[in-house]
Amino acid sequence: MELTLLTVPDCPNAAAFEDRLAAALADHPGITVNRRQIADESAAAQAGMHGSPTLLINGTDPFAPAGQATSLSCRIYRDDAGNTGPSPSVEALRHAIVAAR
């Protein structure tokens, strides 16, 4: 399984995303997260970034709606209740990781 976290330099949501991702991966020792900073629109399009931060699991963003354009922007996530936050919940991240296995 390949996990890649895409962020823009100095992303204000990166630390919160990293914390939640670490918690989601606590039961999955051995999974490595590659980190990549994206600095321009061209690189964002090539990488499949849908805003910062974006998690790619095996090259796919499990949280992007179908057809969503790539973007070099700040990304906000919504939970099941419609509340906004800096990343998916720990539970949503766990679910995406298990679904990709």
Structure token digits, residue 28: 């999955």
Which CATH class, in words, describes the domain spanning 3-100? alpha beta
Q: HEC states along 15-78? A: HHHHHHHHHHCCCCCCCCEEEEECCCHHHHHHHCCEEECEEEECCECCCCCCCCCCEEEECCEE
Q: Which two tokens stand for residue 97?
A: 């990781």
Model pLDDT for residues 40-89, shown as the tens digit of each residue: 999 999 999 999 999 999 999 999 999 999 999 999 999 889 999 999 99
Q: What is the mean pLDDT of the chain?
A: 95
CB 90 within 8 A of CB 55: no
Q: Are 73 and 42 in contact (CB under 8 A)?
A: no
pTM of the model as a whole: 0.94
